[in-house]
Structure 1
Amino acid sequence: MKKLSYIILGFIIGALATYYFCPRQIDDGIDVIKIVKPKGVITPDQAKTLNNNWTTYRKAAADSAASRQGRKVDNRSTWWSLDDIQNYIAFAKHESDSLGYNMTGIRVYLGVYGENAGQDKKDYTTMFMVPTAKKGTDRASMNPFTFQEDEEDCPECSPLNDGGTGYPPGAPYPN
């Protein structure tokens, strides 16, 4: 009987020690979000270099094409609000799921508005996003090695366009 009381006392001491010394997540109604730096994040200096390279190697050709359409310069950027991007990702994920696809990412394309786009957009370059996806559902696997396949555009999903131009066409990257 004496040994049983020692066991019970040990459980009580262990429970108290666990309660006081083990960290607990405080639930104050705020969702804790883990921030992960995505692959491909570059420095502002690298972005300026990429932009300067575009100016050096592509601006003349783009502006030449724009001049044939009656404009001095072409658009060189597209802007979407954070809300629009977050809403689009949620929308695209839901749409791809409902169509039987697993959304794997987003691809950004260059496009050109046609003659019927109105005077504000006529013949300007634009960018639009298309969800990439795989057909079917995820399957569990015990294989620890995964090989990334080429991601394909979701052929039935709705792309996102109508972003703003951001900086005026032809303006240099801001310092």
Structure 2
Amino acid sequence: MKTKLHLKSAILLIIIALLFQSCLDKPKTKKIDRPKQAIDYEYANALEEEFKKTRGDTINKYLNIRDTREFWFDLDELKKYIAYVEQEADSLGYKNLGIRIYKGAYPRDKSHPDPGYSTVILVPTGDKITSKGSFLPVNITFSGNNNINKIPAYNFAHAGKPPKEL
């Protein structure tokens, strides 16, 4: 009888301990350092002002539109796209992955999301591994971060019409 009571007490204590354990704060993840290519907001604003002064007005004048110069992508969707690129590039034998951003423009016909306006296209890049097996202890790669045309590009950001100031 006492054994059953001790067993029930032990089980109850284990359950209580597990409940308290689940309430403890989770350990914080490692702090991410600022990327080397991150720039201050003031410098970013100066670059945008230079674009407007040297290119933006000319584009707007000759196209007779107030073209967009900023694009917004949903961060979760970008993460999904990057994960997809990593998955597909791995299966295709690419390493040293990156994203190249191209400027583009939609034709003026109404079948496009923003007829006549600028857009950007994100294209995955990487180095193709051309040899995995050889008598040399190194992989041979084709260098240069070439576009990976077997992985779909990414488009359809939300563009500012009119553009938002930085």
TM-score if structure 1 supplies the norm length? 0.66
Equivalenced residues, count:
136
- 1:74 paired with 2:58, answer no
Q: Which runs of 5+ in 1 are unaligned?
A: 1-26, 143-148
1:82-131 deviation line (CA, Å, top 9, x unaligned): 10111110011111112222252111110011234536511110011111
Q: What residue is the counterpart of 1:150 in the other structure? A: 144
Indicate how the Cα distance of structure 1 residues 100 and 66 shifts in structure 2: closer, same or farther if over 3 A, else same. same
In proportion to residue count, which structure has more strand?
Answer: 2
Q: What residue is the counterpart of 2:34 in the other structure? A: 37
Asked whether the 8 Å contact 1:75–1:168 carries over to 2, the reply is yes
Q: Which runs of 5+ in 2 are unaligned?
A: 1-23
Which secondary structure state, in structure 2, belongs to the residue aligned with residue 150 of structure 1?
strand
Identity %: 28
Q: CA RMSD in A?
A: 2.9
Asked whether the 8 Å contact 1:76–1:169 carries over to 2, the reply is no
- 1:159 paired with 2:153, answer yes
Asked whether the 8 Å contact 1:80–1:164 carries over to 2, the reply is yes
Asked whether the 8 Å contact 1:66–1:124 carries over to 2, the reply is no
Residue type of the alignment partner of 1:124: Y
Q: How far apart are the structure 2 equivalents of 1:118 and 1:33?
A: 47
Q: What residue is the counterpart of 2:45 in the other structure? A: 48
1:38-82 deviation line (CA, Å, top 9, x unaligned): 221100100110011011001122102431xxxx31111111011
Asked whether the 8 Å contact 1:76–1:125 carries over to 2, the reply is yes
Indicate how the Cα distance of structure 1 residues 121 and 137 shifts in structure 2: closer, same or farther if over 3 A, else same. same
Indicate how the Cα distance of structure 1 residues 75 and 83 shifts in structure 2: closer, same or farther if over 3 A, else same. same
Equivalent of 1:64, from 42, 61, 64?
A: 61
